[in-house]
C-alpha cells in the first residue's frame, strides 16, 4: 500500500488557487491542510473557492491550523517535503528513489504565491524540492505546481497512474 499524500498550503492568498487545489486533491485522493491566512472553504471564502473547486469542497477532507509549527506538532512522524525553489532545493526529478523509499504519510508543503515557504520551515523539512524551470519564469502558479508535483509523487509511489 502506498503512503497517504496530504497537501499543505501555507499562507496561500487566493481562494481561486485553494479551489483549484481542492480539485487536484480530490483527483489524487489526497487530504488538504490549510495553514495561516489561507482561505477556508467556509463563509465568504466559500463563494470564491467553489468557482474553481466545482464540488471538491464537499469531497476533500481538510483541516486548518494557525501556524506551520502546529502541523508539525500534530503530525511529527510524517515525511514533510517542502516544494520550494531556493539555493538548497533539489530537482524533484532527481529525488525519485528517495520518494519511492518513503514510508508513512507524505506531506507536500506549498507556500505563498509571492514569498513561498518560510525559511524556518524549509530548514527543518525532510527535503526541499523544486520543479525545474526552462523558461524565463522561476516558478509555476501554486495550483499548477500542486497538480504537477502531486501526480509525479503519486507516480513515484505507485510506478503507475
Cα–Cα separations (whole angstroms), residue 25 to 75, 119, 135, 154, 159: 19, 25, 27, 12, 19
For 125-150, b/e burial (b = at least 16 CB within 10 A) is bebbbbbeeeeeeeeeebbebbbebb
Domain residue extents for the chain: 5-158
Task: Give pLDDT tens digits for 84-135.
Answer: 999 999 999 999 999 999 999 999 999 999 999 999 999 999 999 999 999 9
Residue-level pLDDT at 36: 98
Q: Does residue 30 contact residue 63 with C-beta atoms inside 8 Å?
A: no
Q: Given this structure, which CATH class describes domain 5-158? A: alpha beta
Residue-level pLDDT at 1: 65
Task: Give pLDDT tens digits for 24-63.
Answer: 999 999 999 999 999 999 999 999 999 999 999 999 999 9
Amino acid at each position: 500500500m502506498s503512503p497517504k499524500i496530504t497537501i499543505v498550503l501555507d499562507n496561500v492568498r487566493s481562494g481561486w488557487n485553494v479551489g483549484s487545489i481542492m480539485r487536484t486533491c480530490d483527483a489524487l485522493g489526497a487530504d488538504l491542510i490549510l495553514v495561516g491566512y489561507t482561505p477556508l472553504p467556509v463563509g465568504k471564502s466559500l463563494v470564491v473557492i467553489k468557482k474553481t473547486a466545482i464540488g471538491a469542497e464537499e469531497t476533500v477532507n481538510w483541516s486548518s491550523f494557525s501556524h506551520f509549527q502546529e502541523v508539525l506538532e500534530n503530525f511529527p512522524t510524517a515525511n514533510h517535503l517542502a516544494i520550494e525553489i531556493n539555493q538548497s532545493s533539489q530537482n524533484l526529478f532527481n529525488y525519485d528513489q528517495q520518494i519511492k523509499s518513503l514510508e508513512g504519510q507524505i506531506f507536500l508543503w506549498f507556500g505563498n504565491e509571492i514569498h513561498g515557504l518560510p525559511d524556518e520551515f524549509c530548514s527543518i523539512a525532510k527535503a526541499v524540492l523544486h520543479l525545474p524551470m526552462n523558461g524565463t519564469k522561476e516558478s509555476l502558479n501554486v495550483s499548477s505546481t500542486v497538480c504537477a508535483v502531486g501526480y509525479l509523487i503519486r507516480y513515484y509511489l505507485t510506478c503507475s497512474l
